Amino acid sequence: MTETMTGAEMVVRAMQDHDVDTLFGYPGGAVLPIYDALFQQNSVQHILVRHEQGAVHSAEGYARSSGKVGVVLVTSGPGATNAVTGLTDALMDSIPIVCFTGQVPTHLIGSDAFQECDTVGITRHCTKHNYLVKRIEDLPRIIHEAFYVARSGRPGPVVIDIPKDIQFQRGTYTGPGEVQHKSYRPKMEGDRRAIERAVDLMLKAKRPVFYTGGGVINAGPEASKTLRELVRLTGFPVTSTLMGLGAYPANDPLWLGMLGMHGTYEANLAMHGCDVMINIGARFDDRITGRLDAFSPGSRKIHVDIDPSSINKNVKVEVGIIGDAGNVLKEMLEIFKAKKRAEQAEEIRPWWKEINSWRARNSLSYQRSKDVIKPQYAVERLYALTKNRKTYVTTEVGQHQMWAAQHFHFDEPNRWMTSGGLGTMGYGLPAAIGVQLAHPDALVIDIAGEASILMNMQEMSTAAQYRLPVKIFILNNEYMGMVRQWQELLHGGRYSESYSSALPDFVKLAEAYHAKGIRCGDPAELDAAIHDMIDYPGPVIFDCLVAKEENCLPMIPSGKAHNEMILPDFAGEIGDIIDSKGKQLV
């Protein structure tokens, strides 16, 4: 299947060939030919964002909620540099993105032309791979390769920089076919003997724990299913990172809740005290491990990861298995089934007893109030009133994000979109737009903070233009809450620049964007107000006025180990726990 067409037409044709139905972009001088080609077709819907960062986050939300590749089109220079934050976010969280950037014509490259920047140079460090297309003959191959690289192995963002003259040139288009990359061959199948060794360790365990991550979500819904089957077969407790929420259902008795800096007491103590740790698709991130030399000191560790460089990077493990989480889980399940020992259920009973005693501490509890909405209460009510619907949640970054992770419970994968690795404020609203486009009938809520939401507020225009009924639920405490919390704990309560002054009136702001605004500050009226939000058929900004100085607990303070957590009933000065070295950390 070969055909002659212009470079711009090839871009659009390749998108069609890769089943791209939605494209997030912003036009400009260096991509005009591609926009012209888009104008003359109907199969790819272009969503006009209001800032290129929003385009990438929208594509991330689209990709993470649908399992497809998110596609972005931006112009040269500022278009490309504005996309950098989104690309870095996608790299850190392993989200498949293909981003087309326009470039000045080849003969002007290097001349500091208008809207020129070294896009491949700038994005080399924040993409899985990138390309500058210098010959029209290379364009079709590069696009097909880019889609393959973005979605296969450990997914990530790929940039294709296309000079304007190449977009005009005519050449021969060839279809995707089977991509055989010259050098890139991700290992999908785990080593059978290593998996057998892992299962042998699991079978001998007296205090086991599953620690799962975003890799299970990336491996597809089938992997989550296999995980559930394996966990239930073993009867082992299971916890997950922020990125892995939903892979295992939160309503299940084997579920311990999220682990890490703001994870539950039972999850963190189980990690600390286990004798066998089974890490599936997580990467021992510093938010998870806390103090490294005191991390799970007595355990033998199994690590399943598709990225060989993740194994033994932060934590030495006994059995490293390189492969796709879904494939490895399937083999683990099969071997475990064959070798299962009925006595093990009895052997791990004391461990469960211990875990249940930790659970009884109820580490997510908080002081309730009749006068003011507690942020935890707001998320709890939001969850209670939406759990029977097909609900997708995105977040911004900060306290509200952690409260959402703690109090909104997920039973399905791909329902939770958050910026984990990079921690990008301003992620949630554009991501929600992407999710809504992928799931037009779903209820999509961005749980936000009043500071974060202002970072990409302009995307309300996008939501309005395409009539996307996203719900922005702002936990408004008039502070950059996580910054304020750390200043309280570490800097003597000197709240340097963390107060949100001169906030807009969010209800009027909603109206200015052709959306509905709701404000609520009374716990007694909260349920009715949330119902109003859900029932409204268009976009809503919900300004939820919450307790201003609530701290996000439980928490592993900087420089401390899992068994040194602060629980909500802690009475002392938290700042006194953290020593001078801990204060230097983030």
> Which residues of this protein are in contact with other proteins, per CB under 8 A?
120-121, 124-125, 128-129, 132, 134, 149, 181-184, 286, 290-293, 307-309, 311-314, 558-560, 579, 581-582, 584-586
Indicate which residue of 3, 114, 206, 339 is catalytic. 114
Query: In this structure, which amino acid lies at residue 244?
Result: G
Smallest gap, in angstroms, from Cβ of residue 303 to other proteins?
13
Smallest gap, in angstroms, from Cβ of residue 408 to other proteins?
27
Smallest gap, in angstroms, from Cβ of residue 394 to other proteins?
27
**Is 482 a known active-site residue?**
yes
Between the CA of residue 256 and those of 209, 267, 431, what are the distances in Å? Answer: 10, 5, 28
Collapsing DSSP states into helix, strand and coil, what is residue 263?
coil
Closest CA to 521 of 569, 571, 583, 475: 475
Question: 370: buried, middle or exposed (CB in 10 Å: 19+, 13-18, 0-12)?
Answer: exposed
Smallest gap, in angstroms, from Cβ of residue 584 to other proteins?
8
The secondary structure of residue 499, as a DSSP letter, is B
CA 154 to chain centre: 14
> Under a CB-based contact definition with an 8 Å cutoff, are residues 242 and 213 in contact?
no
Query: How would you list the strands of the sheet with 97-103, edge to edge?
Result: 45-48, 22-25, 70-74, 97-103, 157-163, 129-132
* Rounded Cα gap, residues 469 and 443, in angstroms: 8
Indicate the residue among 412 and 564 with the shorter CB distance to other proteins.
Answer: 564
Closest CA to 119 of 142, 103, 96: 103
**Is 401 a known active-site residue?**
no
Between the CA of residue 131 and those of 212, 218, 310, 465, what are the distances in Å? Answer: 33, 24, 25, 33
Smallest gap, in angstroms, from Cβ of residue 413 to other proteins?
25
Give the residue carrying structure tokens 């490259």. Answer: 109
**Quick one: angle between helices 32-39 and 7-17, nearest 10?**
50
**Is 100 a known active-site residue?**
no
> Under a CB-based contact definition with an 8 Å cutoff, are residues 434 and 275 in contact?
no
Indicate the residue among 182 and 370 with the shorter CB distance to other proteins.
Answer: 182
**Is 52 a known active-site residue?**
yes
Closest CA to 190 of 375, 333, 388, 329: 329
Smallest gap, in angstroms, from Cβ of residue 322 to other proteins?
10
Indicate the residue among 314 and 465 with the shorter CB distance to other proteins.
Answer: 314
Indicate the residue among 187 and 340 with the shorter CB distance to other proteins.
Answer: 187
Indicate which residue of 9, 24, 52, 459 is catalytic. 52
Indicate the residue among 402 and 529 with the shorter CB distance to other proteins.
Answer: 402
* Rounded Cα gap, residues 342 and 124, in angstroms: 52
For 21-60, give the secondary structure using H, E and C: CEEEECCCHHHHHHHHHHHCCCCCEEEECCCHHHHHHHHH
* Rounded Cα gap, residues 386 and 169, in angstroms: 52
Indicate which residue of 68, 164, 516, 560 is catalytic. 164
Indicate the residue among 291 and 439 with the shorter CB distance to other proteins.
Answer: 291
Indicate the residue among 172 and 309 with the shorter CB distance to other proteins.
Answer: 309
Strand-pairing partners, residue 479, are 499
Smallest gap, in angstroms, from Cβ of residue 490 to other proteins?
12
Smallest gap, in angstroms, from Cβ of residue 450 to other proteins?
28
Indicate which residue of 425, 455, 482, 565 is catalytic. 482
Smallest gap, in angstroms, from Cβ of residue 390 to other proteins?
37
Indicate the residue among 305 and 478 with the shorter CB distance to other proteins.
Answer: 305
* Rounded Cα gap, residues 3 and 1, in angstroms: 7
Indicate which residue of 5, 115, 340, 465 is catalytic. 115
Indicate the residue among 128 and 400 with the shorter CB distance to other proteins.
Answer: 128
Indicate the residue among 307 and 354 with the shorter CB distance to other proteins.
Answer: 307
**Is 450 a known active-site residue?**
no
* Rounded Cα gap, residues 414 and 316, in angstroms: 30
- Determine how many CB atoms are found less than 10 A away from the CB of residue 537: 8
Smallest gap, in angstroms, from Cβ of residue 108 to other proteins?
17
Query: How would you list the strands of the sheet with 471-476, edge to edge?
Result: 416-417, 391-395, 443-449, 471-476, 540-545, 516-520
Give the residue carrying structure tokens 């296999």. Answer: 226
| Residues involved in catalysis | 52, 114-115, 164, 482
